[in-house]
Amino acid sequence: MGLHFSLCALLLAAATAAPAVPPIESLLVLNELQGSKDSAGTGFDITGQVLLICDGQPRRINLIKGNDTATLNFWDVCNCTTNCRSGDIVRAQGIIRDAIDIAQRDMPAPVCACLTNLSVLGHSPLPPTVGASAGQINANELRNRFIHATGVIASVVRDAANVGWNWIVLRTDSDVWKIRASVTEHDYPYDRLLKLLDAEVEVRGISHQFASWRTFLGYHMILYGQDGIRVLAPAPHPFAAPDLSSTPVPQSTSHRQQTRGHVLGSDGKRLFLKDAAGRFIPVTPIAGQQLPPVGTAVTVSGFVDLGPMNIQMNGAVIKADDVPPIQTPEAEFIEAERMFSSADGTDIADSALYGKVLRIRGQIANSTDGIRIDGKILLECGKRTIDVSVAHLLDALDADIEKGCLISATGICLSEFDTDVANLAFPEF
């Protein structure tokens, strides 16, 4: 018994004498350690300033230390209920944990800093910003710098993967560049952002390269704080916008424009308008807009872009006009190959067919399941395969539609490109 007692006492004395590992006190060091799982279990005790808050699961806080953006860091908040706001000076204490243990989905680092205590020590203005142009942001000339920029909010969407974030696009005086920016739902709820469409604003944040685990579509700003968006001129009424109906060659401008016409068709997400000037215009409405039936006379007000074939309108508001509807034009039957050659036989896509109601014949090349999953029929027409969009008609498809069937399809002839402005507005999977 005596020997056993002596050994226990010796082990206890050794354990007591072992020096404790001091907590990390540097944001920069903590960022470096988040690249290695060997740091899991290390504690930290850091004083910094809150840049932004994202109320997700888990909740996240961005901290900075002075003006040094190299210390920008994401934090997972574990068992931490202290309320704070952008600009607060805080003492952050916690431990580095394995990212998988806390269900961290959107950070490539294998381990994450997990807050267990957050104490607000005071408040201070966030770092000053420098003015930036859309060209400088998109050329990555100001990466990780605190910047501000001006423009007109032309698009608002929820993030495709994280409901804690929203995206906006600003049009600027440049015909080439737009500014993409992300903002937290905590600071700027989606419904509030929708009310800022067409407003002239100044935004402030950090110039940033989009996370490597999504498709890279360029550079953007991360906005921060309750004054991350400052309104310079409120949004005018949508139907006070300039009328482009009588404009021979409409221009892409920062603000909304409006036009009148009849609904030629719809794919459930867009309507296709034949306006008073005879132009075919794809129109993408803002969230919550009801798409009127085919033939309805409407006025649409939105942001015009010059597409590869013609103009297109995004972020549109729609109202029905008190004018009799029209009948859908009779479809013109053509061989599919005709879409890829001009009237004189030149091997070039015939832009004159863009927006026309056509009927083509071909053999279905994809399976019934594929049609229902992708929302389109792959129609083999000779040496061409045409995408026939049916996502809005799935419930009405004939039960006998299957691979190998010979069918005729009537619809509107569209040409769509990966580089269309609507497709490049936001980062998506």
Q: What's the pLDDT at 97? A: 80
Contacts of 223 (CB under 8 A, 6+ apart): 52, 181, 182, 183, 187, 188, 203, 204, 205, 229
Query: Residue ranges of the alpha helices (H) in 173-321?
Result: 190-194
Position 214 scores a pLDDT of 56
| Residues 115-127 pLDDT 10s | 888 899 999 988 8
Q: Give the number of other CB atoms < 10 A from CB of residue 373.
A: 11
- pLDDT tens column, 182-202: 888 888 999 999 999 999 999
| Partners of 95 in the β-ladder | 43, 114
Measured distance CA(167)–CA(214) in Å, rounded = 15
Low-confidence ranges of the chain (pLDDT < 70): 1-20, 34-36, 56-58, 67-74, 76-82, 99-110, 175, 210-218, 248-252, 418-429
Q: Six-digit token pair at 370?
A: 């594929």
**Cβ density class 349-370: b for 16+ within 10 Å, e for less:** ebeebbbbbbebebebebebee
Tell me the pTM.
0.78
Q: How far is the C-alpha of 314 from the C-alpha of 421, rounded, in Å? A: 9
Count the Cβ atoms, other than its own, within 10 Å of residue 61: 25
